[in-house]
Amino acid sequence: MIKKWYRVQKLKAIFVLALSVVFTNAVVSYSNTVKLIHNQQWVISSYEVITQVESIQSLLKDTETAQRNYLITADADDLKTYVAAYQQTNHNIQILSKLTADNHQKQQWISLLEPKITSRLNILQQEIYLRQNQGFEAVRLRILSDKDNQSSKEIQQLIYDSLEVEQKLLQQGMQQSQASSQKAIVTFFIAAIVDLVLVALLYDLLWRYIRQLQQTELALRQSENRLRAVIDAEPECIKLIARDGTLLEINAEGLAMMEVESPDVLIGKPIDAVIVPEYRAAFADLHKNICQGNKGTLEFEIVGFKGTRRYMETYAVPLRNESDGTFIHLALMRDITQQKQAEQKIREQGLLLDVSTEGILVRNIHNQILFWNQGAERLYGWKAEEVVGKNVLQLLYKDISLQLEDAYLKVMNTGEWHGELHQLTKEGKVIIVESRWILIRDDHGQTKSILSVNTEITQHKQLEAQLLRSQRLESIGTLAGGIVHDLNNILSPILMSVQLLQKKLPDSQSQQILQTLENNVKRGANLLKQVLSFARGIEGKRTIVQIQPLMAEIEQIIAQTFPKSIICQADIPKNLWYVRGDITQIHQVLINLVVNARDAMPSGGILRIAAENLVIGEHSAQINIDAKVGSYVAIVVTDTGMGMSSEVQQRIFEPFFTTKEVGKGTGLGLSTALGIIKNHGGFVNVYSQIGRGTQFTVYLPASTFRDTSLLSPEFESVIKDG
């Protein structure tokens, strides 16, 4: 209002001066006109001084109030208010100094007031520092001091006295101005006719100006209508939100999203009424940030007036209000419901893929891995972040086989492939997988990627190989049994004939030849006996056998008969379970294993024999076709010799198969040992690496040991004494 009055008075003075100079220069006194303008300027200056003094008084109170609130509550917002009022007080003092620069008397008054205000502000600042460092109690004692109150009272008294004097002067100036105005009006009365002419001219000019304003207003209205049409045509929601959170404007798309027909339903209402409750706090923080002049984005949900739930994404910017410099909230919102639903569907599909026990991976046409599910992580050992972007051929295969090349060509030509592959895990273990490849194309039919679904069948293939080997050994055993029967029929008359010739040919030369022939026939008979033992099994007398003394005997044989370059290490617990079986045959098995271990270490090494009690569960029983659930005594024979290749390991239990030189082995030792172990209801596992040695583990079913009548004679006394 003061600024408006100032402008009106200034226009009035200019108008009077113009009329005086142009039309009534001969009538109006130049001195009266100058005096009138001078009085008006003085009144305006005096009014501005009063305004600044009152502003300083009000700001000083605000500073003290904010400072006291901060001392009591230690609220950061009160501290900000105090700092703003503190700075504005200093600024107004500087303005007041400029306004009174030409008035010596007022300058003296300001020179008294300014140091006191500065001192008072310093005291307030010291109290804040004291509150921050020593606490409220120290500040309270300082506030209660008389010096503090006296300083504030002196400032208020100086301001009060100054305002009283200035208002009196202002009143006098306004009276003088009014008198001058009346005098000027009387003087101007003489020029009334001229004034009428001037008024007519001014009326004409004013009428033209009004018409121009009307045309401008019409153009502005048309521009606003075009802008409104453009905003309503925008396919996204546009909102204008006041600082208090109420809606100011909204476009047509926004009304459709809110499911209302008229903006009157929403204008002036809180904008967060349609926001889902769990998102309201985040939206309030965003709105507060925007009203402070910052930008921001947010994703949230709304529920329309008809109950439709939507995901919204808002891009919010501050819009400055030119009248007071504050900001309001301009929001551009778009509906992302379909995008969110698609993302949710992708996440659900990803979870389904991760739940799958099969290894699922996707690679591009350059063999770079794009997707790797949790089933693949469990199958191969690599995490997804370790393999994405890497070459699948370099990761899972030792080399590019013909089968792999054929698979790639077939999937590129036909769109799919199915077969078995040998692949590597993170630990370098070779596994067998049943793999299905599907070619994926984009919308234009171009090759995009290859989807692979891999199922590990390593155990299945191992069991299948064990079954085939057992069937092969069974067939060989049946054939060998028939051959042994025929050979026994051939060797028996030969041996009888040799014995008869020994009696009829007593000379030494004949006896020597016949003895050699007899030895070879007996050797052949023993060889056939071993083959028969493998083919049909040897059913000896079954007793309760204690493994610990038997292994101790084997250890003694190794120490006495094996080369000194072979070091024997034994780990034989005393609490081993008993085994029901033929002690002679079990002894034969162990002797065969340690002798093979000795032969595998011609340059010496370490031979280790050990045993332990072991319970085999269902999972372990599935790994070996000959294993059954139950209690076993596991006997382990390990050497550090030359080891065996995987091809040799597949054939070591076949009759007559040997890697030894001619004359040093018949190839029946391990096949006979396997027959004995199976006849006892057990099984054997072999693990070997070339250059790193071999380990045989014999599993014999443990006996419940309730019938002491089955004990072997050499152990009966031990049991009775125990």
Distances (CA, A) of 54 to 4, 47, 85, 499, 602: 19, 11, 14, 148, 113
- Identify the domain containing residue 716 by its residue range: 538-721
pLDDT at 32: 58
Question: How buried is residue 659: exposed, middle or buried, by Cβ count under 10 Å (0-12/13-18/19+)?
Answer: middle
The pLDDT confidence band at residue 397, using thresholds 50, 70 and 90, is confident
Is 210 a member of any domain?
Answer: no
SS3 content of the chain, % helix, strand, coil (to 5): 60, 20, 20
Beta strands in 403-528 (DSSP E): 416-424, 430-441, 447-456
Q: Could you tell me the pLDDT band of residue 281, with boundaries at 50, 70 and 90?
A: very high
For residue 26, being part of any structural domain is answered with yes
Residue 155 inside a domain? The answer is: yes
Distance separating alpha carbons of residues 470 and 464, to the nearest angstrom: 10
**By C-alpha distance, which of 188, 217, 112 is closest to 155?**
112
Q: Is 367 left (phi over 0), alpha (psi -120 to 50) or beta?
A: left
Let me know: does 447 contact 365? Beta carbons within 8 Å.
Answer: yes
User: What does the pLDDT read at residue 8?
Assistant: 42
Task: Report phi then psi at 656, rounded to 5.
Answer: 70, 5
pLDDT at 441 exceeding the cut of 90 = no
- Greatest mean pLDDT among 55-59, 211-215, 293-297, 346-350 lies in 293-297
Give yes or no for residue 11 having a pLDDT over 60. Answer: no
- Residues 318 and 383 placed together within one structural domain of the fold: no
Task: Calculate mean pLDDT across residues 458-485.
Answer: 67
| Contact predicate 497/468, CB 8 Å | no
Cα dihedral sign, 674-676-678-684: negative
Backbone torsion region of residue 114, taken as left when φ is above 0, otherwise alpha when ψ lies between -120 and 50, otherwise beta? alpha
The pairing of beta strand 237-241 with beta strand 247-250: antiparallel
Handedness of CA 30, 34, 40, 43 (dihedral sign): negative
**Cα angle value 139/140/144 (rounded, 5°):** 115
- What letter represents residue 18's amino acid? A
Closest by CA position to 116, among listed 159, 63, 81:
159
- Per the CB < 8 A criterion, the answer to whether 461 and 431 are in contact is no
Determine, yes or no, domain membership for 227: no
The secondary structure element, H or E, covering residue 274 is none
Asked if residue 228 belongs to a domain, the reply is: no
Note the pLDDT of residue 716: 45
Instruction: Indicate whether 581 and 714 sit together in one domain.
Output: yes
Helix (H) or strand (E) holding 376: helix 374-380
Q: How far apart are CA 119 and CA 89, in angstroms?
A: 13
512 vs 435, more confident: 435
Q: What is the per-residue pLDDT across 703-719, written as a single tens digit (0 to 9) for each?
A: 865 444 444 444 444 33
Separation between Cα atoms, residue 713 and residue 546, nearest integer Å: 11
The residue from 413, 429, 456 where one domain ends is 456
Residue 669 binned pLDDT confidence (cut-offs 50, 70, 90): low
CATH code, domain with 436: 3.30.450.20
Residues 553 and 603 in one domain: yes
Q: Where are the beta strands (DSSP E) in 543-586?
A: 543-546, 566-571, 578-581
Check residues 389 and 106 and name the one with the higher pLDDT. 389
Q: Where among 456, 484, 517 does a domain terminate?
A: 456
Top-ranked range on mean pLDDT: pick from 73-87, 352-366, 684-698: 684-698
Tell me the pLDDT of the chain averaged across its residues.
77
Tokens of 674: 């396997």
Is the pLDDT at 198 greater than 80? The verdict is no
The confidence band for 14, taking pLDDT boundaries of 50, 70 and 90, is very low
Alpha-carbon distance 696 to 593, whole Å? Answer: 8
**199/263 same-domain check:** no
User: Quick one: 551 and 638 in the same domain?
Assistant: yes
Q: How confident is the model at residue 2 (pLDDT cuts 50, 70, 90)?
A: very low
Arithmetic mean of pLDDT, 56-77 = 79
423 and 441: one domain?
yes
Tell me which DSSP letter residue 275 carries: B
Instruction: Judge residue 453's burial from the number of C-beta atoms within 10 Å of its C-beta, 0-12 exposed, 13-18 middle, 19 or more buried.
Output: buried
Does residue 524 sit in the same domain as residue 588? no
Instruction: Flag whether 465 is in a domain.
Output: no
Instruction: Say what the pTM is.
Output: 0.34
Q: pLDDT of 289-323, one tens digit each? A: 999 989 999 999 999 888 889 999 998 999 888 77
Confidence of residue 639 (pLDDT cuts 50, 70, 90): very high
CB 703 within 8 A of CB 578: yes
Rg (alpha carbons) of the chain, rounded to whole number? 55
Residues 149 and 246 in one domain: no
CA distance 261 to 77: 42
pLDDT value of residue 287: 92
Using 50, 70 and 90 to split pLDDT, how confident is the model at 661?
A: low
Three-class DSSP category at 507: coil
Q: Hey, what amino acid is at 557?
A: I
Distance CA 105, CA 112 (A): 11
- Bridge partners of 311? 301
- Asked if 523 and 490 sit in the same domain, the reply is yes
Q: What does the pLDDT read at residue 7?
A: 42
- Cα separation, 214 vs 234, in Å, equals 30
Q: Secondary structure of 380-438 in the HEC alphabet?
A: HCCCHHHHCCCEHHHHHCCCCCHHHHHHHHHHHHHCEEEEEEEEECCCCCEEEEEEEEE
695 has a pLDDT exceeding 90: yes
Q: How many domains does the chain have?
A: 5
Tell me the average pLDDT across 144-163.
Answer: 65
Same domain, 550 and 530: no
Q: Name the token pair of 589.
A: 């098995």
User: Any idea which of 44-48, 352-356, 561-565 has the lowest mean pLDDT?
Assistant: 352-356
pLDDT value for 283: 92
The secondary structure of residue 696, as a DSSP letter, is E
Name the pLDDT band for 251 (thresholds 50, 70, 90).
confident
Averaged pLDDT for residues 165-171:
68
- pLDDT given for residue 610 in this prediction: 95
In the chain, the percentage of residues whose pLDDT exceeds 90 is 10
- Residue carrying the six token digits 């069991």: 463
User: How far apart are alpha carbons 107 and 71 in whole angstroms?
Assistant: 35
With respect to residue 212, please indicate whether it lies within any of the assigned structural domains: no
CA 549 – CA 572 distance, rounded (Å)? 9
Same domain, 185 and 36: yes
Residue 708 sits in a domain of what CATH number? Answer: 3.30.565.10
**C-alpha span between 31 and 53 (Å, rounded):** 33
Query: Residue 466 domain-assigned?
Result: no
| Distance (Å, whole) CA 569 – CA 588 | 20
Helix (DSSP H) and strand (DSSP E) numbers for the chain: 22, 17
In this prediction, residue 465 has a pLDDT band, given cuts at 50, 70 and 90, of: low
- What lies within 8 Å, CB to CB, of 302 at 6+ separation is 257, 258, 274, 275, 276, 309, 310, 312
Same domain, 159 and 22: yes
Pairing assessment for the beta strands 327-335 and 359-364 based on DSSP bridges: unpaired
C-alpha dist (Å) from residue 717 to 178, 574, 587, 704: 144, 17, 20, 19
Q: Is pLDDT of 605 > 90?
A: yes
Residue 74 in this model has a pLDDT that exceeds 70: yes
Q: Tell me the mean pLDDT in the region 184-200.
A: 69
User: pLDDT category, 393, cuts 50, 70, 90?
Assistant: confident
Q: Is 541 left (phi over 0), alpha (psi -120 to 50) or beta?
A: beta
Beta strands in 147-250 (DSSP E): 237-241, 247-250
- Mean local confidence (pLDDT), 421-445: 86
CB 86 within 8 A of CB 63: yes
